[in-house]
Structure 1
Amino acid sequence: MNKNSKILGSESIWKLLIKLSLPATIGMMVQALYNLVDTIFVGRGVGTLGITGITLSFPVQMIVMAIAQMIGIGGASIISRALGEKNAQKAEKTMGNIFTLVILMSATISILGLIFINPLLSLLGTNSVSINAAKDYLSIILFGTIFFSFSMASNNIVRAEGNAKTAMYTMLISAGLNIILDPIFIFILHLGIKGAAIATVLSQATTALYLIYYFLSGKSSIKLHFKNFKLKSGIITEIMAIGSSAFVRQSAGSLLTIILNNILMVYGGVLYVAVYGLTNRLLMFVLMPLFGIAQGFQPIAGFNYGAKNYSRVKDVTKASIITTTILSSIGFFILILFPKQLLSVFTTDTNLILTASNVLKIIILFLPLIGIQIIGATMFQAIGKAFSSLILAMSRQIIFLIPLIYIMPIFFGINGVWISFPISDFLATLLTSILFYFQMKKFNTNSTLSKDINL
């Protein structure tokens, strides 16, 4: 176990949380900035139709992300706890199985996606106006699935061993290169939306190569042995069980986007799909620091849970909730005060800016509470509580939001779609708080028992 792993159980909670979260937050903010810049370039270079094309293709990227997160987060939870238990062999076997699963699943998605791209685009909600833009973008993105999946899953391994800076570098490489390549392919080479997709794939491939070098160079505390690439049923089962909550959360986002795109096409066509695309990107940019805190939090919680240091798990959970609540509140005030100014960066379409501005003010009403959801779900992932984590991952989008976006428009028209967002945020936070309360009581009980045993 190297020094990156040892500090998870010894350094002060706030100092450790900042040390692990800050690099993750910087990396994710740059990644989110790339998404914004990518949309700006497409919006300025292609127009509203280009933004719609990216938005319609996004559910497929979310499914790829869901699978990579399932494998990466599920495996990272095992690795963190194995390192806490000083079981290096289990950590190494888990890493090998993660790589094999990523290769197999990403190759399957690429092949099937390209074969069935036309019916897939129809399912995503494209019409005769938007299908060409969506197809131009998605057909290229599918070729880069393996790079994106490998990078995302590997990033979780790097964070699991406490090496937050390297995890940050991977995101900086991907996002920074993408921002450089976007204007070259879109404007200079005049490839339009295809150029945006090519830039994305090239940047992800570069990131994947950097991570391969990291693992092969011996810089990782987890040794890479090709014999560990052989799949083990017990490890796979545990990865899938723990990672299922991450998969459900991300794939639910994909399902939600598909449903929304279809509903919005019926109510308002291309304009409303573009509105959702812009507001969702701004919201995700605000949420990235919260996910950065969660990424810094997870290895600390997992390591100390494996080491049976329950009071330390409880302390880092509380610190993370306080931090994410402060950050989400700051994001809320920025979005509520400057919506038009932020949206005008993407487009000169005044109708799009005005409509998106009004929508944004509705969907962020309970944004200050969302940190509780994110840390609550991450805590259950970190300590290996697969069922609780799965329920929380399903709560906002599947249990609450999707039913609401079907019901609310019956009474409130298109505004009913947007009202569904804050209602589901409130209900999901309430459910998270209830499960969180009972888990905290267990931590208190286990901490007392541990002290009695030590005495």
Structure 2
Amino acid sequence: METDMTKGKPMEIIIRFAIPMFIGNLFQQFYNVVDTIIVGRFVGKEALAAVGSSFAIMTFVTSILIGLSMGASALFSQFFGAKQYEELKKAISTSFIFIFIVSLVLTTITSLFMHQIIHGFQMPMETREYAADYLRFIFAGLIFTGVYNAFSFLLRAVGDSKSPLYFLILSAIINIVLDLVFTVMLNMEVTGVALATFIAQGISAVSCAVYTIKRMNFIKFKRKVILFDKKMFKTVASYSILTAVQQSASSFGMMMVQGLVNTFGATVMAAFATASKIDSFANIPMQDFGNAFSTYVAQNKGAGNIERIREGMRGVSKIIVAFSLGISILVFIFAPQLILIFVKKEAVDVIAVSVYYLRIVCVTYTLLGFLQMFYGFYRGLGEVNVSIILTFVSQVTRVLLAYGLAMTPLGFAGICLAIPIGWFLSDALGVIMYKKIMVEDSV
């Protein structure tokens, strides 16, 4: 069902829109989290380190496709809010063709140079074979990632955040069942969890595409309008490519830090990979409120409701504070129990390092929440260049400090401290830019 975000109470609309996205992203996390649990409990520490480290590579590559879809969706929302349906058709057709081509190119490049990517990532020798077994299927499935995100972000752009949830639940269930069959019953080890993910993503992508094509009959799509419009592509590119740069820059920063962590050995690799999964779960509510806010801002900008955007910013700020503080308290208290979901209790060294990382980072989740809010705000407003600047400030600070502090007596603690410092500096810049755009220029 489409949702018109230009009417009604802002906080209520944003929360209602974000909840299905939140639940959906929980299931989406299962793609790699379930793989990590299965591998950690049924294969071994080296395999766990390989899959966890490969997640950073996978996230970097898929972030390009997610960014293209996310950026295009902001443009879709603006046209939808302004009720410019003919322009919306052109934008959808042009961006989808572009995303499909990029998906094919990424699949080809990553598959051909997989071993060079693994070697450049400084993985210990004992983990490289496992990583290759895992990434072979992940890279082959990039086309499914592109298709699913293109259609799911289109649904969200017009206010339907529930439908993508159903396909994620379906794929998560399939992924879990196949993980158990391939890895536990058939003893396929890392290859089994990768194959399960490949199949689950394929089913999710095809199902979502078929549903969306049949569901969005209100804009009356016909085959003759499925064309690549060069003029529209310039506008699409200003949203989607810049957002892809932002998303990939963020993931590249994480990948650089993961490369540094890899030099500390398999134990720290496994611990960092495990703690990062919990970080990912903790980040979901903030990320989804940011994405919901992006759709809200884009629709209201299209409708010319600038004061309503300011009202929404005040509401989202309150939501972010409440959720992030609650999550910080839960993660800090239950860090050991959360780690035990992924590893056996005998892995004392992995548990200790993971808990150490979580208790440093989790107390600053509010900073991360505000950063996600700013990302959504600037993307929805069409000021994607500002989102990119915020990302670069956060990630460059994080990477430089991580590498610098890791060489001091702080060691691994320096890597942990670099993360919230990057968030803080980006938030400060986000506030400054908000005042300039909303107060001085009045959008």
Q: TM-score, normalised by structure 2?
A: 0.94
Which residue of 61, 69, 72 maps to 1:72?
69
1:333 paired with 2:329, answer yes
Q: Is the 8 A contact 2:77 2:158 kept in 1?
A: yes
Q: How many residues align?
A: 440
Alpha-carbon distance change, 93 to 190 in structure 1, aligned in 2, over 3 angstroms? same
Letter in 1 for 2:89: E
Structure-to-structure mapping, 1:397-416, within 5 angstroms: 397-398=395-396, 400-411=397-408, 412-416=410-414
Query: In terms of mean alpha carbon deviation, does 351-360 or 208-217 score higher?
Result: 208-217
> Could you tell me how far 1:425 is from its partner in structure 2?
1.9
Query: In terms of mean alpha carbon deviation, does 141-150 or 287-296 score higher?
Result: 287-296
Alpha-carbon distance change, 56 to 235 in structure 1, aligned in 2, over 3 angstroms? farther
Could you report, residue by residue, the CA deviation over 1:338-378 in whole angstroms, capped at 9, with x for unpaired residues?
11111011112111001111121122231122211111111
CA distance in 1, matches of 2:430, 2:400: 19
Q: Which residue of 2 aligns with 1:39?
A: 36
Which residue of 265, 271, 274 maps to 2:267?
271
Which residue of 378, 382, 385 maps to 1:384?
382
Query: In terms of mean alpha carbon deviation, does 205-214 or 219-228 score higher?
Result: 219-228
CA distance in 2, matches of 1:184, 1:215: 31
Q: Which residue of 2 aligns with 1:427?
A: 425
Q: Which residue of 2 aligns with 1:94?
A: 91
Q: Which residue of 2 aligns with 1:364?
A: 362
> Could you tell me how far 1:228 is from its partner in structure 2?
4.2
CA distance in 2, matches of 1:9, 1:261: 42
Structure-to-structure mapping, 1:106-117, within 5 angstroms: 106-117=103-114
Q: Which residue of 1 aligns with 2:315?
A: 319
CA distance in 1, matches of 2:220, 2:320: 34
Alpha-carbon distance change, 180 to 90 in structure 1, aligned in 2, over 3 angstroms? same
The ranges of structure 1 where at least 4 consecutive aligned residues each deviate by more than 6 angstroms after the TM superposition are none
> Could you tell me how far 1:245 is from its partner in structure 2?
4.7
CA distance in 1, matches of 2:309, 2:125: 53
CA distance in 1, matches of 2:224, 2:61: 26
CA distance in 2, matches of 1:171, 1:284: 17
1:347 paired with 2:327, answer no
Query: In terms of mean alpha carbon deviation, does 141-150 or 248-257 score higher?
Result: 248-257
Q: Is the 8 A contact 2:32 2:55 kept in 1?
A: no
CA distance in 1, matches of 2:92, 2:168: 20
Q: Which residue of 2 aligns with 1:450?
A: none
Which residue of 270, 273, 280 maps to 2:276?
280
CA distance in 1, matches of 2:391, 2:259: 23
Which residue of 231, 251, 254 maps to 1:254?
251
Query: In terms of mean alpha carbon deviation, does 388-397 or 85-94 score higher?
Result: 388-397
State, as a whole percentage, how many aligned pairs show the same letter. Answer: 23
Query: In terms of mean alpha carbon deviation, does 9-18 or 27-36 score higher?
Result: 27-36
Gaps of 5+ in 2: none
Structure-to-structure mapping, 1:214-233, within 5 angstroms: 214-219=211-216, 221-233=218-230
Alpha-carbon distance change, 403 to 244 in structure 1, aligned in 2, over 3 angstroms? farther
Alpha-carbon distance change, 43 to 224 in structure 1, aligned in 2, over 3 angstroms? farther
1:145 paired with 2:179, answer no
CA distance in 2, matches of 1:376, 1:415: 28
Alpha-carbon distance change, 49 to 226 in structure 1, aligned in 2, over 3 angstroms? farther
> Could you tell me how far 1:220 is from its partner in structure 2?
5.1
Q: Which residue of 2 aligns with 1:449?
A: none
Could you report, residue by residue, the CA deviation over 1:217-271 in whole angstroms, capped at 9, with x for unpaired residues?
24454443444443233333333322345323432243234322332233x2111
2:5 counterpart SS class: helix
Q: Which residue of 1 aligns with 2:289?
A: 293
1:162 counterpart SS class: coil
2:126 counterpart SS class: coil
Q: Is the 8 A contact 1:252 1:397 kept in 2?
A: yes
Alpha-carbon distance change, 281 to 221 in structure 1, aligned in 2, over 3 angstroms? farther
CA distance in 1, matches of 2:139, 2:317: 36
Letter in 1 for 2:145: F
Q: Which residue of 1 aligns with 2:301?
A: 305
Letter in 2 for 1:298: S
CA distance in 2, matches of 1:313, 1:189: 54
> Could you tell me how far 1:80 is from its partner in structure 2?
0.8
Could you report, residue by residue, the CA deviation over 1:357-411 in whole angstroms, capped at 9, with x for unpaired residues?
112112223112221111111111001112212212222113x111111222233
1:239 paired with 2:236, answer yes
Q: Is the 8 A contact 1:150 1:208 kept in 2?
A: yes
Could you report, residue by residue, the CA deviation over 1:86-109 in whole angstroms, capped at 9, with x for unpaired residues?
210111111112221122111111
Q: Is the 8 A contact 2:171 2:204 kept in 1?
A: yes
Q: Which residue of 1 aligns with 2:201?
A: 204
CA distance in 2, matches of 1:56, 1:189: 24
Which residue of 1, 4, 10 maps to 2:2?
4
**What is the aligned-residue RMSD (CA, Å)?**
1.9
Q: Is the 8 A contact 1:32 1:288 kept in 2?
A: no
